[in-house]
Amino acid sequence: MRTEITDEALLRSPDPEAFGMFYARHLQAVTGYFARRVADRELAADLAAETFASALVAKRRFVAGGAPAIAWLYAIAARRLVDHRRRSASQMRTMEAIACEPSEQPEEPLVTLDAAGLLRHLPAEQREAVVAHVVHGRAYEDLAAELATSEASLRQRVSRGLRTVREPLRFYRAAKELAGESREYRFGGGHGRHLAAVAPSSPLDCSSAASLVLARAGMLELDRAQVSTELAGWGVEGEGRYATLWADEGHVWLEFTLDGTRERFDPTPSRLAPRSGWLSTRPGPKASMAPRHWPGL
């Protein structure tokens, strides 16, 4: 009878294929560990890959006879999860800071602002002023002397730049909040309802969910949930710089590109397989759909 090689033996083995066996043995379980905690299958797969990459580097420090190999592996996975949550929290703090009116003296430089890509569409003068003052914390007085301009002009550039990026952030935050409400999807759910009367537990379909996001972001003129054919005439034609609504006669979904990557808001289960929540990096259908965007976004 063939005896299965233990996890401990695989980790101690100098044979490169041994770690491959260890990886294949536990990949599905580790991916499931992350999937239950981040509600996004693609992100779960990325975190699982990071875990095994860290394990490959750290396996030379693995000591047999101590903690079981599987416990050692999940300890690494837990650290990767903590790292991810810290990165996410940092990004959200940056977004919230931009969404608020800028203070004269920020408590700390928003060092991740420019890296997030939120400033990429600003005019060069506004982008440079925001990066210098908000990200690097430089005083208006010093910048004015360096650039041979007035403090009032620099303040105006920063104010206009931050006002521009606050709009897509408010839009995205509305989608993220609705996605986090754990509502049930129901075909036709919410159709024609007055948006102020939609209860927190009311099931919604794609067009009603999109209507509620638009209303919360201040981008919907009517106060009732609209169907997809109505939303196909929302805003102006074409893709937006930061956010786009895609619609045809039977479906609606939102796409955000705040940091240069695409994130999709879509509550329809059949459109997201495997199911990954209302916000996902999984691309959506575009072949028959018309793009619309809010002016300036």
Mean pLDDT in order along the chain per 10 residues (297 residues):
79 85 91 86 84 86 84 92 76 56 39 56 84 79 87 84 80 87 87 84 91 89 87 92 91 86 84 61 85 89
Which residues in the chain are classed under CATH 3.90.1720? 169-293
Q: Which fold has domain 169-293?
A: endopeptidase fold (from Nostoc punctiforme) (3.90.1720)
**Best CATH choice for the domain 97-166 from the list 1.20.1530.20, 3.10.350.10, 1.20.1050.10, 1.10.10.10:** 1.10.10.10
**pLDDT reported for residue 182:** 78
Long-range contacts: 125-129, Cβ < 8 Å, 24+? 125/157, 126/157, 126/158, 126/160, 126/161, 126/164, 127/161, 129/154, 129/157, 129/158, 129/161
Under 8 Å between Cβ of 113 and 127? no
Class of domain 7-91: mainly alpha
**pLDDT reported for residue 111:** 36
**pLDDT reported for residue 78:** 92
**pLDDT reported for residue 291:** 94
Which residues in the chain are classed under CATH 1.10.1740.10? 7-91
